[in-house]
């Protein structure tokens, strides 16, 4: 079982990559994060996220339930539950963590053996286009995400691997290859 952090700016396609890997390789599973943000249309509690209240999240922090947590885009809490590690270890699967830069840094600190992968867009223009196409956010939310994205791109060299998400399937297969090589399986 390998712990794998997938980071990169919002809109870069981390979600689609992770989904592709889970659908195509049974040796991988996705860590289901807890968040205080509201579900988007189609998102299910316990599948995409554990949607919780701020009070509940803060109680989890106090109880030491989180492997890492952060306030993303300045307000909502997001975090990885330690119980996700136990779940992966029981199922003997590689655990994919799709988390932000602050969370990635915490995991690198506490679990130096983590495989950290940073996903970059083919270009800045492409990233902005993808973010706008998603159209689930207001203009001001999009601006916040773009600002965060610029800052995150500057941190790419803190990661073990950097991959350009130009072709979804190719990039997903690269991730699988990296993890399998590291795990010797």
3-state secondary structure 131-150: HHHHCCCCHHHHHHHHHHHH
Site for ligand 5GP in 62-91 (CB under 6 A): 68, 70, 72, 78-80
**Residue 100, interface with ligand 5GP (CB under 6 A)?**
yes
Residues in a beta bridge with 113: none
Nearest approach in angstroms of CB 68 to ligand 5GP is: 6
With contact defined as beta carbons under 8 Å apart, do 163 and 42 qualify? no
Nearest approach in angstroms of CB 185 to ligand 5GP is: 26
**Residue 102, interface with ligand 5GP (CB under 6 A)?**
yes
Nearest approach in angstroms of CB 27 to ligand 5GP is: 21
Query: Distance (Å, rounded) from C-alpha 71 to C-alpha 106?
Result: 13
> Using CB under 6 A, which of the segments 54-62, 97-105, 114-122, 168-176 binds ligand 5GP?
97-105
Query: Distance (Å, rounded) from C-alpha 53 to C-alpha 117?
Result: 30
**With 0-12 CB in 10 A as exposed, 13-18 as middle and 19+ as buried, what is 177?**
exposed
- The residue sitting closest to ligand 5GP, measured at its beta carbon, is 103
List residues near ligand 5GP by CB under 6 A.
Answer: 10, 33, 37, 68, 70, 72, 78-80, 98-100, 102-103
């Amino acid at each position: 079982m390998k712990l794998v952090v997938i980071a990169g700016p919002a809109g870069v396609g981390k979600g689609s990559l992770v989904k592709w890997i889970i659908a195509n390789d049974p040796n991988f599973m996705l860590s289901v994060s807890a968040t205080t943000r509201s579900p988007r249309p189609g998102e299910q509690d316990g599948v995409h996220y554990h949607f919780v209240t701020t009070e509940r999240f803060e109680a989890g922090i106090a109880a030491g339930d989180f492997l890492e947590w952060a306030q993303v885009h300045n307000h909502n809490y997001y975090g990885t539950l330690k119980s996700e590690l136990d779940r992966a270890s029981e199922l003997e699967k590689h655990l994919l963590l799709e988390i932000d830069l602050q969370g990635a840094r915490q995991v690198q600190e506490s679990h130096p053996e983590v495989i950290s992968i940073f996903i970059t867009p083919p270009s800045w223009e492409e990233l902005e286009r993808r973010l706008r196409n998603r159209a689930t956010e207001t203009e001001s939310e999009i601006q916040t995400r773009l600002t965060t994205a610029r800052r995150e791109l500057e941190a790419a060299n803190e990661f073990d691997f950097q991959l350009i998400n130009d072709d979804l399937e190719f990039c997903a297969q690269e991730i699988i290859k990296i993890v399998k090589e590291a795990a010797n399986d």
